[in-house]
Structure 1
Amino acid sequence: MTYVPVHASPLTGNPLRTRADVEKALLDLFAPLLPAFSEGGARVSLSATAAHFDQAAADLEGFARPLWGLAPYAAGGGDFPHWPLYAKGLANGTDPEHPEYWGKVTDRDQRMVELAALGFALRLVPQHLWEPLDERAKKNVAIYLLEARPHEFADNNWKFFRVMIDLGLEQAGVEFDRSITEQYLRELESFYLGDGWYRDGNVPRVDHYIPFAMHFYGLIYAALATSDEERKRRFRDWARLFAPNIRHWFAEDGGALVFGRSMTYRFACAGFWAALAFADEEALPWGEVKGYYLRHLRWWAKLPITDRSGVLTVGFGYANLLMSENYNSAGSPYWAFKAFLPLALPASHPFWTAEEAPAPAFPEPSPQPQPGMVMMHTPGNVIALSSGQENLQMRFGSEKYAKFAYSSRYAFSVESDERIFEGAALDGMLAFSDDGRHFRVRETNEDARIAGNVLYARWRPWSDVEVETWLLPASPWHVRVHRIRTPRPLSTAEGGFAIPRADAYRKLERIDERNGTALVIGAEDFSGIADLGSTIERRGIGLKAPPNTNLLHPKTFVPQLRGDIPSGETILLTAAVALTDRFDAARIWKDLPPAPAIEELEAAIRRDGRRVGALAWRMGE
């Protein structure tokens, strides 16, 4: 008999099909935090791990972020017995004379992020957080929020935090200068790209912050602001345009595309669907919105996302500090509570009364020019072919933004060491090495265009090495074409999708390595990569990637093609596929997609290509 460990979370066993189920999920996830509250109620300290900001800000994060769910729950009539603890914590955290004082707010301070949750909660449930305070405490809270407002907020979705603070001050009857918020609202609108998409600030970056931040706060503003009707209408209009696009980021089983930074916020990805409900904005039929929302929560209920005490961990599919951002403290994952926003609605709201609808079938690819993606739906999975985005400021920015392909089922991997070229995962990437040890991948693009379902990018791993890459769907495969010009010989490695390796079913797993192909078959899934006639020979490798590099699966296989290219021009032609049924491998493997002609791809980009929205902004278009 084989021992199989059980990794339960507070969501385990919750069917997550009704409003009552969602209420239970909220309370069950909050309960493990109670022992972590400080004596004065202002600090919630969850572990010894650190973020780049001070511990007081981290403890405020643990205190404030659950309010994204608790305040809507109470506003919708839910009975939460710990509001006196929160009121006490709010009073003490804003009191400069109290030992649990949160500290002064400065420019671009993490406290600003958490004050947005406080402003929202003060607006939604003042009877629990404002009215119980004595006059001295009210004065301290007002001063704390007022002193934060004039400071510089980061030039991205953070500008909405001042807006959320203002909602709370307005509800409390505190006077403030509205002009500086008006400036931020104009700047937030300037981030709008079109088709419902924003960029997250003055960067070529279009990720999950668009649904769970830009639209999330915009819809809250549209629902709660007492004036500014034209802007509120624009926020609603843009959300309606966005909904048919962002649904392609969700697979039929509820999993969301694993892409970009802050994936430790987990089911915050349901925040857009939640905000549509909160704002009473039926951008898609309510049954469809409810389906995307609940399927996503159910997807997370199957994963070990908490520690043994039930506290959400930093990580994605499991506890994993390797993939985290420098700004992830132990309280960071509780941004996931944004998903509980619909609990503010009565049970009679059509979002709750509608029958949950399955996801529509999408047999054809969906081009998305603004994020620079072509979306493909396969069974239990959604894939994004991607070009045009970057993140040069953050750890693992290349892995989070610049791979050729991303997936909901297979996630993506971060590299554990840039000095192990032979052991790097490189899923969805093409890597080059000039010494056989270190390697370079795509980090940024000089140009990125889309023409129908074809993506194009020009990039340089070194200043003297130029790579042009075309990506196109060939469902269930996708095809990559690379034209490389280099003044010196280089070694290359190109990876397909990472699939999970098993512990209990190792005998079912198989690796098939040949010249020009690599196929890895796991206990359930298979993943393959094939050369379609490159100008060099490449050998197939079934790599057992370093553990804990993939965001969703602690141990993975990655099929790779490796070879050496000479100086001059080289053409690499590649097809990659991964599917959920291992028994499909033999059939799929016999039917490789044809190799496209570069001349035809070039002609399509010249004739119909437009620069992807994320990059067009930077180039002044």
Structure 2
Amino acid sequence: MSIPFDLPADDRDLSPHTGYTRAHWEAVADGLLGAAWRWATPGGALLDLPGRPSASGVRSDGLEGYARTFLAAGFRVAGAGGADPHGWLERYARGLAAGTRAPGRDDAESWPLILDHHVQGQPMVESASVALGLALTRPWLWDRLDDAVRDRAESWLRGALTHLPSPNNWYLFPFTVASFLESVGRGDEATARAVERALGLLETWYRGDGWYADGDGRAFDHYNGWALHLYPLLHAHLTGDAALADRLGPRLRAHLEGYALLFGGDGAPVHFGRSLT
């Protein structure tokens, strides 16, 4: 496989098994982000990656391009203590301002509105990535935004709190939005309700041995690792909720102890659940 960007030399002293260090992962993140931003709209609100449009439509796909890559940029910059040599956060701040200027408008930059899952639900998924990106990078992005942009971003994000999620891990998307809004002093009854609702559902979905059902019944999926463990524990970490971390942490540890068995020696996953089938 060819890699379209340079990697540092292997460091077998620090990383004897792979030679990879954080510098390698930073280089990979920077390379992927640089490739994705080639497809950005002029204002940076949408990343219209090439390929067949999804059922959600090209505008939602463009928001997804922004939001999912923002996760990579957020973890990359936060993990480096705010160091941002490529100026990724400036791009995402500019895109946030452009996308939230007139949500729902049919123009070159505006983000789609967040509606119920069966009407126009995909933006709710992306709202969690936007909120998490903002939470991770708060000192270097959110805290430096104009008040008007912050107000517009909050207004758009609140669509996740007032519309109906799909009856599964989707409840963690408004949960993540609420967690961020509360962390920046914009919490209220709606955010408290979203957090309480999601954590309550999480308890009813836990089946033991590190596994949650993805909703009621036996709907198990790879989302167990990506969403159901990730969002609540990141919330606990970012908000300093030690009691929640103490309750959920051992579940994640149990999940990880067996998770490698779901992948073959060539990296191929076991194909189960709606995410892969």
Which TM-score band (shorter chain)? 0.7 to 0.9
SS of corresponding position for 2:221:
coil
**Which one of 128, 131, 153 corresponds to residue 143 of structure 2?**
131
What is the Cα deviation at residue 68 of structure 1?
A: 1.8
Q: Which residue is equivalent to 1:156?
A: 168
- Please say if residues 171 and 198 of structure 2, whose CA atoms lie closer than 8 Å, have aligned partners that are also in contact: yes
Separation in structure 2 between the aligned mates of residue 254 and residue 169 of structure 1, nearest angstrom: 41
- Please say if residues 157 and 200 of structure 1, whose CA atoms lie closer than 8 Å, have aligned partners that are also in contact: yes
Matched, 1:28 2:41: no
User: In structure 2, do the counterparts of structure 1 residues 83 and 13 end up closer, same or farther at CA, with 3 Å as the change threshold?
Assistant: closer
- Please say if residues 150 and 180 of structure 1, whose CA atoms lie closer than 8 Å, have aligned partners that are also in contact: no
Matched, 1:242 2:255: yes
Residue deviations 1:238-291, cap 9 Å, x none? 11222222132244x46152313435xxxxxxxxxxxxxxxxxxxxxxxxxxxx
Q: Which residue is equivalent to 2:195?
A: 181
Question: Gaps spanning 5+ residues in structure 2: where?
Answer: 11-17
Question: Gaps spanning 5+ residues in structure 1: where?
Answer: 1-6, 264-399, 401-621
Residue 123 of structure 1 aligns with an amino acid whose one-letter code is A
Q: Which residue is equivalent to 2:233?
A: 219
Residue deviations 1:8-65, cap 9 Å, x none? 2437977661111111111111111122111111011012412111322111000010
**Which one of 106, 123, 129 corresponds to residue 111 of structure 1?**
123
Residue 154 of structure 1 aligns with an amino acid whose one-letter code is S
What is the Cα deviation at residue 113 of structure 1?
A: 0.9
User: In structure 2, do the counterparts of structure 1 residues 248 and 11 end up closer, same or farther at CA, with 3 Å as the change threshold?
Assistant: farther
- Please say if residues 169 and 175 of structure 1, whose CA atoms lie closer than 8 Å, have aligned partners that are also in contact: yes
Q: Which residue is equivalent to 1:10?
A: 4
Separation in structure 1 between the aligned mates of residue 100 and residue 92 of structure 2, nearest angstrom: 12
Normalised to the residue count of structure 1, the TM-score between the two structures is: 0.39
Identity %: 30
Residue 106 of structure 1 aligns with an amino acid whose one-letter code is L
User: Which protein shows a greater Rg?
Assistant: 1
**Which one of 55, 66, 71 corresponds to residue 68 of structure 1?**
71
- Please say if residues 84 and 128 of structure 1, whose CA atoms lie closer than 8 Å, have aligned partners that are also in contact: no
1:481-500 equivalent positions in 2, closer than 5 A: none
1:349-428 equivalent positions in 2, closer than 5 A: 400=277
The number of residues matched between the two structures is: 256
What is the Cα deviation at residue 203 of structure 1?
A: 4.6
Residue 233 of structure 1 aligns with an amino acid whose one-letter code is D
Normalised to the residue count of structure 2, the TM-score between the two structures is: 0.84
**If each structure's strand is expressed as a fraction of its own residues, which one has the higher value?**
1
What is the Cα deviation at residue 117 of structure 1?
A: 0.9
User: In structure 2, do the counterparts of structure 1 residues 122 and 159 end up closer, same or farther at CA, with 3 Å as the change threshold?
Assistant: same
Residue 74 of structure 1 aligns with an amino acid whose one-letter code is V
- Please say if residues 122 and 171 of structure 1, whose CA atoms lie closer than 8 Å, have aligned partners that are also in contact: no
Residue 10 of structure 1 aligns with an amino acid whose one-letter code is P
User: In structure 2, do the counterparts of structure 1 residues 72 and 63 end up closer, same or farther at CA, with 3 Å as the change threshold?
Assistant: same
**Which one of 94, 111, 126 corresponds to residue 102 of structure 1?**
111
Residue 101 of structure 1 aligns with an amino acid whose one-letter code is S
- Please say if residues 73 and 88 of structure 2, whose CA atoms lie closer than 8 Å, have aligned partners that are also in contact: no
1:271-290 equivalent positions in 2, closer than 5 A: none
Separation in structure 1 between the aligned mates of residue 69 and residue 183 of structure 2, nearest angstrom: 20
**Over the residues paired in the alignment, what is the CA RMSD in angstroms?**
2.3
Residue deviations 1:373-427, cap 9 Å, x none? xxxxxxxxxxxxxxxxxxxxxxxxxxx3xxxxxxxxxxxxxxxxxxxxxxxxxxx
Q: Which residue is equivalent to 2:98?
A: 92
Residue 187 of structure 1 aligns with an amino acid whose one-letter code is L
- Please say if residues 65 and 117 of structure 1, whose CA atoms lie closer than 8 Å, have aligned partners that are also in contact: yes
Separation in structure 2 between the aligned mates of residue 169 and residue 218 of structure 1, nearest angstrom: 15
SS of corresponding position for 2:207:
strand
1:43-58 equivalent positions in 2, closer than 5 A: 43-58=46-61
Q: Which residue is equivalent to 1:208?
A: 222
Residue 262 of structure 1 aligns with an amino acid whose one-letter code is S
Q: Which residue is equivalent to 1:371?
A: none
User: In structure 2, do the counterparts of structure 1 residues 62 and 220 end up closer, same or farther at CA, with 3 Å as the change threshold?
Assistant: same
Q: Which residue is equivalent to 1:83?
A: 89
- Please say if residues 115 and 159 of structure 2, whose CA atoms lie closer than 8 Å, have aligned partners that are also in contact: no
Residue 34 of structure 2 aligns with an amino acid whose one-letter code is A
